[in-house]
Amino acid sequence: MIVGGPLGIWIPDLADFRLGKGPRLRGLRLIHTHLRGEPLTRDDLTDLALLRFDLIAALEVGEDGLPGEIYLAHLTPLSMQGENWRCLDPVAVGQLEINCRELIPALESEFARTQRRIDAQDPRDRAILVHASSAPRGVIEDSLNELADLADTAGVIVLDRISQRRHQFHPRFLMGREKLMDLSIQAFQRGADLLIFDQELNPSQRRSITDLTEIRVIDRTQLILDIFAQRAHTREGKLKVELAQMKYLLPRLTAEDSGLSRLTGGIGGRGPGETKLESDRRKARDRIHRLGKELESVNRERNLRRSRRNQNALPVVSIVGYTNVGKSTLLNGLTHSRVYVENKLFATLDPTTRRLRFPRERDVIITDTVGFIRDLPKDLLDAFRATLSELKDANLLLHVIDISHPQFEEQMQAVEKILGDLGLQETPILRVFNKSDRIDPETGDSIVRRYGGIRISALDSKTFSPLLRAMEERLFLMPQVAVEENQPAGLESQDRFPYEPDEKSCKKGSEPLAHL
């Protein structure tokens, strides 16, 4: 029982009442009085939806204190005329005929049927993607497409996507409160247990959205961190990802935040004289310090390997580019290697090095690197900065671009911005437009003329000749052969450097020469 005032009632915390995963309602019915004879208000229906009440009822009370008509409403599955709730016709309280013991289980069964198209035994999270910004519709759609790819890579089932164009973010909820309420209802109707926001949420926004929707909430940054955690296989990669996770986690540690449960599994306990929250924060800071020390040791080992490679005086070529553009496929094609390749974002996280032999017994070191992405989380970029700094030792960067992607220009700009942030503006860059077999040749030639570079298909070694000639010119013949800026390097020297890759000219080691 709760008591309100003339302006409304305050509903206490209902966390102790059932609200499990799936189509279950709260197990509570809210019956309250209206003193002015009005029907259910928008606030009443909002409480019904957000708190998942079995039923909500408003009872009229006359000036004589006697009950009048009663108004009732309950939630509805998504399949029923697209409505979020159903308001029953008001009746006199003495004429009310409703069997809640039959109605509530029937509603939950109907909710379960609408969600049954997804395998109930599938343990993966089921998410709704959310984007709020003032960007044009096309940009928003492209961003949500990339977020969906990230979610798929992380092993998340995407049920739906929601967007809202806003010129100013809500300080607490990012998007409008009404829109967030509709989102919460839709998440319940669709059986979603996770909301993934395309924008990075500050700690206050995460808490406010979680409290309002009672659904786990993560943002794009945490999603990328989770992917990196899944993909890291070497000791160094795991250390770097964990360091980035801990730095992301620390300012977001609160007494309770279910959205961070995947990051906080190793943190807990209570220190003497500390609250659990204080203990968690202290342990997180200690862990960050220890990870930093371990990475310093790893960096010293890498610097030693780098100095040994430099003593060999072999040219170094590093393959860079947006995630999932075919960098590892190109490395495999050039060196006849078997580096892991998958059509997912960040399939390659731990860089791999191979040796590539040109004619006249001239070898180069060629390295595959982790893929870039727009708005790469700062903590993650900082954690991998030591590895990426090795790009400064490269004599040539092969910037691989997916020419078939609708946003290849934006991806190209995002990569070159990160390279600029790393201080690599002066390193020679050769743009390699991959997946040219997916577009018509005239369009591909036009793009190459506009931006300069080489057009290839990493799956077809017959397209490598112009690329290998351009690499040879840049690495060995630049003092003798001038390559005009913004022209497809190597094409004008086709007769001078005839070269076709084959098993004899591509030397492959059974193991990487170095793990960066």
Ordered DSSP codes for 73-105:
EEE--TTTTT-SEEEPPPEEGGG----HHHHHH
Same domain assignment for residues 287 and 431: no
Number of compact structural domains in the chain? 4
Which of 354, 327, 364, 331 lies closest to 472 in space, CA to CA?
364
* Residue type, position 120, single letter: A
Mean residue pLDDT across the chain = 79
More confident site: 509 or 61: 61
Same domain assignment for residues 462 and 328: yes
Same domain assignment for residues 435 and 366: yes
User: What is the Cα–Cα distance from 54 to 51, expressed in whole angstroms?
Assistant: 9
pLDDT over threshold 60, residue 453: yes
pLDDT tens per residue across span 335-385? 887 766 666 677 666 667 888 888 777 888 898 888 888 887 777 777 676
Banded model confidence at residue 143, pLDDT cuts 50, 70, 90: very high
What is the pTM (predicted TM-score) of this model?
Answer: 0.73
Same domain assignment for residues 239 and 220: no
Same domain assignment for residues 286 and 382: no
User: What is the Cα–Cα distance from 209 to 175, expressed in whole angstroms?
Assistant: 10
| Burial (CB count <10 Å: 0-12, 13-18, 19+), residue 374 | middle
Same domain assignment for residues 437 and 332: yes
pLDDT over threshold 50, residue 219: yes
Identify the bridge partners of residue 170 per DSSP, sorted by sequence position: 174
pLDDT tens per residue across span 192-210? 889 999 998 988 899 899 8
DSSP per residue, 295-341: HHHHHHHHHHHHHHHHHTT--EEEEEEBTTSSHHHHHHHHHT-----
Same domain assignment for residues 330 and 476: yes
In a domain, 92, yes or no: yes
Same domain assignment for residues 350 and 489: yes
Q: What is the CATH number of the domain that holds 160?
A: 3.40.50.11060
Same domain assignment for residues 148 and 97: no
Domain that holds residue 398: 314-493
Assign 375 to helix, strand or coil.
coil
| Location of structure tokens 């022209």 | 487
